[in-house]
Amino acid sequence: MIYKNFVKRVIDFLLSLSAIIILSPIWIILIVLGSIAMKGNPFFLQQRPGYKEKTFNLIKFRTMSNAKDSNGNLLSNEVRLNKYGRILRSTSLDELPELFNILLGNMSIVGPRPLLPEYIPYYTEEEHHRHDVRPGLTGLAQVNGRNAISSWEERFAYDLEYVNNCSFLLDIQIIIKTALKVVKRSDILVGSTVVVGRLDDIRNNNNK
């Protein structure tokens, strides 16, 4: 409990601050390239539920442009996801700004990935416990299939397993496995390919 409630946060703060400083040259390059590729703001902000389901602004590098049709409507995701965005996603570089979320205490290095706020009403009573810890940059589900996991139930099972077994050793194991997956670019789906689908759509259909 000491690690989960105190030590983990100290480690998150120190490691995220160090990473932000060390990676500052990459930050500058990606901000410039992103501004050009996206023709404007290179950052993407979106509300996500965090610890105890309190929402925060998740920050990432944008991977889709704001290209619109003649009527002013956004084009499809496949069209707006340009080559630059695909590279960011395949290398996980789009996730780098989340280091600031970790520094501020909205997130942790390891924990259940933050999902959309509109999914919360569709959780089971047990699934709400995935928010008993801060959401993570990576997590147990990500090193056991990442985006290729075929069901929400499987993802949530990994999230709850992490919440119930959170420890320094487990975090180290997840970080090492994540680094290997990023280097190998394994279990990463880029573009409009969706294996699981939206949680609200799936559970609404199941209740019909």
| Residues 84 and 37 sit within 8 Å (Cβ to Cβ) | yes
User: So where are the chain's domains?
Assistant: 2-206
* 126 CB-near residues (< 8 Å, 6+ apart): 160
Q: What pLDDT score does 186 carry?
A: 64
The whole model's pTM is what? 0.88
DSSP characters for 111-131? SPPP--GGGGGGS-TTGGGGG
How distant is the alpha carbon of residue 88 from its chain centre? 13
| Helix 83-91 and helix 24-37, axial crossing angle in degrees, nearest 10 | 150
Per-residue pLDDT of the chain (208 residues), as tens digits, is 899 989 999 999 999 999 999 999 999 999 999 999 988 999 999 999 999 999 999 999 999 887 777 777 777 777 788 889 999 988 889 999 999 999 999 999 999 999 999 999 999 999 999 999 999 999 998 888 755 666 889 999 999 999 999 999 999 999 999 888 877 766 654 444 445 678 888 888 777 6
**Tokens representing residue 49 in the block:** 């539920």
Specify the DSSP class assigned to residue 38.
T
Reading the block at residue 20, the tokens are 């932000």
